[in-house]
Every structure is written in C-alpha cells, then in structure tokens.
Amino acid sequence: MTSQQYFAPLLRRLAELGVRVDTLAAPGLAPAQLVQLKAADWGRLGQQARDWGCRWVAGWGEDPGLDAGESLRINTCFEKAGRYLLGRTVLPRELATVPSHTPYFPAADRPERHTQDLLGVTFSLHPDVRRWTRHQAWKEDEFPLRRDFPAAGRSAGPTPADHPYRFLLAQGSGVYEIPVGPVHAGIIEPGHFRFQAVGETVLRLEERLGYTHKGIEKMAEGRDAEGLARLAARVSGDSTVAHGWAACMAMERAAGLPVPPRALWLRALMCERERVANHVGDIGAMLNDIAFAFGFYQFARLREEWQRVSYAAFGHRFMMDCIVPGGVALDLQEHFIVTLRDEARALRQQIAELMTIINDLPSVADRVRGTGVLKPDHARALGCLGYVGRASGVDFDVRRDAPYPPYDSLSVTVPLHHYGDVNARARTRLEEITASFDLIEALLAGLPDGPVRTEWRPPADGAEGLGLIEGWRGEIMSYVRFGAAGRVARFFPRDPSWTTWPALELLIHDNIVPDFPVCNKSVNGSYSGHDL
C-alpha cells in the first residue's frame, strides 16, 4: 500500500472538517506523500495526525526567494506504520504566522522554535516563545535563513552573553540549582544543564543547547551535489556515514539517479560498521561513568581496533566522505572481505566474554537497573527513536519498517525492551551490535559485482528529494531542494538527537545527581547533530 493510499482516511477526515487538502505529485519525496493546505488549517493537520496515531518526524521552513512571490514555506513530516506524510503550507514573508503543532506533538517544540529563530515565523499557541537557536548571535529582526541574510553574518564583534535567557526558577524549601556547562571538563561539545534538586535528588532538568550553531542550513545554499555530501557528512561526525547517505539518497531521488547495487551494499556495510563502533564506544563510556575502569578500557580498545580496520578498508577511521552522490568513493578490495568477516566474528566473541564478567558484578547492576527510566508513554510522546525509543517499547526501525536497498532484501533483527532504564538502553545497544554482526556477514556474503558509482546528473530547478536512513541513533531524515544549475537551494538534516535530548530531561527525574553522567551517556544525544 502506498503512502497516498495509507493516509487516505486521514485526508478524508480533514475534508469532512472543511479543510482543503491538495495532494501533489513529487516523485523525489517518495516514500512520503506530499500534501498542501492553507496556513489557517495547519493546526488541524497536527491535531488530526495526532488523533490518527501518527509520529511527528520533523518540521522545517524555507525561503524560496523572490521568485516565489514573497512567500515562505513551512513543511512537516509525519510517520505511521512505516509510511510518511509530508505537509506543506505557504506564508507571507511579512507577519508570517502559522498554528503550532507543539500542543499535539511535544517533539515539535524545539524544531518550531528553531524555525522561529532562523526564518522569522511565529507559531501561534506555542507554549514556549523563548529563543532556542538565536543565542544573541543576530538581532531580533534578522533571520539567517532568509535569502537576504549573508552567509557570513553581520556581526562586528564577539557575540554577547545570552544572560537574558530565562531558565525556570528553583522554588520551594530546600530546593537549589546546579548549573553545569556549557563548557565541560572533557572534550565534548558545549551544552548547558540547569538542575533543580533537593539534597541529591533531581527534581527538574532544563537544557540549553545550540552554543555551536554552525549554520549548516545556510552553508548548504549554492553548493553542488558533491559539496553538499561533504557538508552532510559533517553534521554529526559520529554519524558521518548515515548523514552522508541520507543526503545523497535525497539528492539521488530528486535527480531520479539510480545507484549501482554494489554501491548500496557497501553503503550499508559502512553504516553497520559505524553502528558497531559507536555502540561499543558508548558501552565503555557508560561503564566509565559508574567507575568500572576495566570495562571502559576494554571496550575502548575494541572500538579502536575496529576503527583501524575501517581506515585500512575505506581510507578513513570514521569512513568520512566515502559516500558520494551516485554511489561510493572507492570500492572494497577483495582481500578485505575476509578481514572484515573475521574481525566481526572475533569482536562478537570478545564482547560476549566481557559481558560474562560485567553481568556477574552486582556493583554494575546496582548502578544501571532502575536508573534513568524513560516511561514508554513519554518515549512515544516525544517520538524517541533508535535505542532510546526501543529500550522504552517503541518498536520502529527504518531498515525494517520502511526498507530501502539493500535492507529490503535482508533480514533485520530489531531488539525491543520495555523497562526504559539505563540497563535497557545498554542491553538494546548490545543486541543491536549482534544484529549488525549478522548483517555485516550477510552483506559481505552477498556483495554483488559491478560498478560502485553512477555519474551525477544535476536535476531540474525545483526538484526535491527526501532521504530516510536508520543511523546508529535512529531515523535520520534529509530534505534537499535544488535551484538553478543543479545547485542546492535548501538542505535540512534531522538528527535523532532532536527527540532524545528532551527525553534526557524527563528520565533524570527522581534520580540522584551522581547518576546524571551515566544517564546522559546512555542516551548520548549529539550536540552537533542538534546544533545546525
């Protein structure tokens, strides 16, 4: 059943309410169905999508320029049962106002505020009107994603401190605040965490992110396809393969460009290696946060050895820039097939031996069981993805539920747990590693012959594409629209961290302050993937 057929009941319900919905043909946006409606009906779309059981995937805006008649576009994407619906409305550039989806989907909160700050769109009935992305970097009446705003900005000096940002005040007898960050003791990126606690018990956590706003969306404008692929690979360095694949998929769909089967299988091989590397490293880091140094050292060693083989086989430890428009940058040499297969089998055995030791330690179990519980209802309300969602009963994986080549010809095992604590997230990661080992063996055994790249053909002006990839953190969505001469007019990448950062604020409730590091690492949201 196509997305158009699947969402027909929802569209009929909107029509019964007097909402005119135009169904538009957009082959490059497949598997999503594109619909357009009036701005005044935008809130009804969100309400009916919520009532129909949809998940809010992403929201973004764009300024098509003066050729579009002084208008802005607002887009949103929903998912249900592996089908996607992309809604669109058009707003005047001046006094651009549209109803908010946040009252129906808490996941829309920060993305809408991001669009508010960058595009100058007001979301009426939004429960939180505070800035999110701006951080005093530009004036109140300046919006960087407008076409008349220069990519280099207009700042004449250092950005002022963001002291006017109003955190919720601590109240009550014995309640005190603990500010952490944005600069941290380690090498992680900046993020501010404002705790309210009584004794050691956390009553509330409020995050403030966006300190490293890179201007990814603005920098994408005017790039050619290869330039955009390189930029996408740097949205979040630990997800360089997944973000690069999602962006290239979007561009290839916009251009109607077929990708050689061997290239698709190599992309999947790299993506599974990326998944294993990050899960192995994070499990070690979680053990470090509960002071189990032996486990930290061993998992760090295993990740390092794994990444060294990635360097030997693909030319880069993180496989950065290996995915290019039309395929992959280099082929896998025949002798590496045996190397990669043997390495996966050896790592599987070593992890099993380590977990036998770790699972026998009461001190480890005491720190992770019942700690940082994300309730299933909260996970679903936030649209949590990947291991964070699956540890709390959210059973969704793009590879299985909205399959794309080569996963549409492979068996994908998706682990699922319901306790939602640190232990469940760790177990989900371990089981995902095992599933990736199985996929790696299948990919190496079935790797087809043939070319690894198709010559790029620039698409027509206005062509759009949507890329949907299951990265190691979960579903990654990339939207691309091309302008004249095959240059990118709009690029929007949605990292899973947009949904998992809010989850951290909820799961830390009623935990003790010293458990925050392990709770944080069990979620491991990407600062960079969020701070576009």
Could you tell me the strand order of the sheet in which 192-198 lies? 175-180, 192-198, 201-208
- Cα distances (Å, whole numbers) of residue 191 to 180, 384, 525: 8, 20, 11
- pLDDT at position 262: 98
pLDDT of the chain, 532 residues: tens digit per residue: 788 889 999 999 999 999 999 999 899 998 999 999 999 999 999 999 999 999 999 999 999 875 556 689 999 999 999 999 999 999 998 889 999 999 999 999 999 999 999 999 999 999 999 999 988 888 888 999 998 888 888 877 788 888 888 888 878 889 999 999 898 877 788 999 999 999 999 999 999 999 888 999 999 999 999 999 999 999 999 999 999 999 999 999 999 999 999 999 999 999 999 999 999 999 999 999 999 999 999 999 999 999 999 999 999 999 999 999 999 999 999 999 999 999 999 999 999 999 999 999 999 999 999 999 999 999 999 999 999 999 999 999 999 999 999 999 999 999 999 999 999 999 999 999 999 999 999 999 999 999 999 999 999 999 999 999 999 999 999 999 999 999 999 999 999 999 999 999 999 999 999 999 999 999 999 999 999 9
Return the residue matching tokens 């896998």: 332
Give the span between the Cα atoms of 195 and 150, in whole angstroms.
Answer: 37
Instruction: State both tokens at 226.
Output: 């290869």
State residue 161's pLDDT score: 83
Helix then strand count (H, E) for the chain reads 18, 15
Helix orientation angle between 293-314 and 335-358, rounded to the nearest 10 degrees: 170
Answer yes or no: same fold for 3-124 and 216-530: no
Contact 399, 443 (CB under 8 A): no
Residue found under tokens 């629209």: 481
Q: What is d(CA 396, CA 384) in angstroms, rounded to the nearest whole number? A: 10
Taking alpha carbons only, the member of 211, 207, 279 closest to residue 239 is 279
Q: Which of 39, 37, 31 is nearest to 14 (CA)?
A: 37
pLDDT of residue 68: 53
Residue indicated by tokens 């590091």: 517
Find all residues with CB under 8 Å of 407, minimum gap 6, and list them: 268, 399, 400, 470
The structure tokens 């082959």 sit at 27
Task: List, in sequence order, every beta strand (DSSP E) within 302-426.
Answer: 323-324, 327-328
What is the amino acid identity at position 321? D
- The total number of residues shown for the chain amounts to 532
- The Cα 180–Cα 162 span in angstroms is 15
Residue 69: which residues within 8 A CB-CB, separation 6 or more?
Answer: none
Count Cβ atoms within 10 A of the Cβ of residue 219 and give its class: 0-12 exposed, 13-18 middle, 19 or more buried.
Answer: middle
Q: Provide the CATH number for the domain formed by 3-124 in this structure.
A: 3.30.460.80
pLDDT at 69: 62
The per-residue pLDDT for 170 is: 77
In terms of DSSP bridges, do strands 97-99 and 122-124 run parallel, antiparallel, or are they unpaired?
parallel
Fold (CATH) for 216-530: Cytochrome-c3 Hydrogenase; chain B (1.10.645)
Taking CA atoms, 342 is separated from 313, 332, 347, 366, 411, in Å, by: 14, 15, 9, 35, 21
Going from the C-alpha of 270 to that of each of 239, 242, 335, 472, the distances in angstroms are: 11, 9, 16, 11
Residue 441, H or E segment: helix 422-446
User: What pLDDT score was predicted for residue 135?
Assistant: 86
Locate 488 and state its tokens.
């990118």
Place of tokens 């962006």: 247
Q: Which of 137, 94, 136, 134 is nearest to 116 (CA)?
A: 134
Contact 473, 277 (CB under 8 A): no
Q: Give kind and range of the element (H or E) at residue 401.
A: helix 398-401
Place of tokens 């050689």: 260
Residue whose C-alpha is closest to residue 201's, from 371, 366, 362: 371
Q: In what order do the strands lie in the sheet with 55-62?
A: 22-24, 32-36, 83-92, 71-80, 55-62
Domain ranges of the chain: 3-124, 216-530
Rounded to an integer, what distance in angstroms lies between the CA atom of residue 220 and that of residue 488? Answer: 7
- Residue 293, pLDDT score: 94
State the Cα torsion 12-17-19-20 to the nearest 10°: 50
